[in-house]
């Protein structure tokens, strides 16, 4: 079976950078907010039933379609919330994150659950760490608002996507919702505007699947 590639960005991509990067982020940013919690606390939050209730992972997986045999790079994988689920659906997953502690958490899960189709990759905070045309899909879950210099960042992501590859972004509505502080939310219009600057041209927007999050996808032609 031909192996293809999918990439996921989960919410901890820049949430838990090493302390050496904290000084590079102004107080009040999403990254500073996340630094207030330990990796253990964040992992517990990421894997909680409360998250399951609003994240609705089975609906997200159904939205992504048949991923069996596809390779998944979960950039900002955090505790592996989506990485593990995608691997169990038959995808070949690369769980990437800037934080070594989260990488260690995922490695423990790989060993415990014997997920031979799930590997880890440590990446820098300012780059997705992709080779040209390496992947088929990039899924960015609860992470877009953590990334700085987004047009430049996602231009690199675009180069890493194969022909017919797809970028999928899931993030919180810019509204008063019971998840996360309002000032960290990014509107759909802003995301699309920034992605256009990065070179993306075709967009599909889904606002009804999840209660607190939108889904923006862009296919590379």
pLDDT tens across 32-87, in order? 444 557 888 988 999 999 999 999 999 999 999 999 999 878 878 889 999 999 99
pLDDT of residue 5: 47
Give the span between the Cα atoms of 106 and 109, in whole angstroms. 5
The DSSP string of 142-184 is: S-GGG-SSHHHHHHHHHHHEEEEEEEEEEEE-SS--SSS-GGG
pTM: 0.82
Domain count, the chain: 1
Identify the CATH number of the domain in which residue 135 sits.
Answer: 3.40.50.150
| 36 vs 162: CA distance, rounded Å | 37
- Which residues on adjacent β-strands are paired with residue 41? none
Rounded to 5 degrees, φ, ψ at 89 are -90, 5
In tens, the pLDDT along 97-153 reads 888 999 999 999 999 999 999 999 998 889 999 999 998 898 888 889 888 899 999
Domain coverage including residue 24: 4-219
| Half-sphere exposure for 61 (CA within 13 Å, toward CB) | 19
């Amino acid at each position: 079976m031909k192996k293809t590639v999918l990439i996921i960005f989960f919410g901890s991509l820049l949430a838990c950078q090493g302390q050496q990067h904290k000084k590079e982020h102004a107080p009040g940013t999403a990254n500073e907010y996340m630094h207030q919690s330990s990796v253990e606390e964040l992992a517990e939050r990421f894997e909680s039933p409360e998250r399951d209730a609003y994240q609705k992972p089975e609906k997200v997986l159904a939205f992504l379609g048949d991923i069996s045999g596809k390779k998944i790079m979960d950039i900002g994988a955090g505790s592996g919330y989506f990485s593990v689920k995608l691997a169990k659906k038959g995808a070949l997953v690369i769980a990437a994150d800037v934080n070594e502690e989260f990488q260690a958490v995922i490695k423990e899960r790989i060993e415990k659950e014997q997920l031979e189709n799930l590997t880890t990759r440590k990446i820098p905070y300012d780059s997705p760490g992709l080779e040209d045309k390496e992947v088929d899909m990039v899924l960015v879950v609860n992470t877009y608002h953590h990334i700085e210099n987004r047009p430049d960042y996602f231009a690199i992501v675009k180069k890493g996507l194969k022909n017919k590859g797809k970028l999928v972004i899931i993030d919180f509505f810019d509204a008063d919702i019971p998840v996360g502080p309002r000032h960290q939310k990014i509107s759909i219009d802003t995301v699309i505007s920034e992605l256009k600057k990065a070179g993306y041209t075709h967009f599909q927007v889904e606002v009804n699947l999840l209660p607190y999050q939108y889904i923006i996808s862009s296919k590379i032609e």
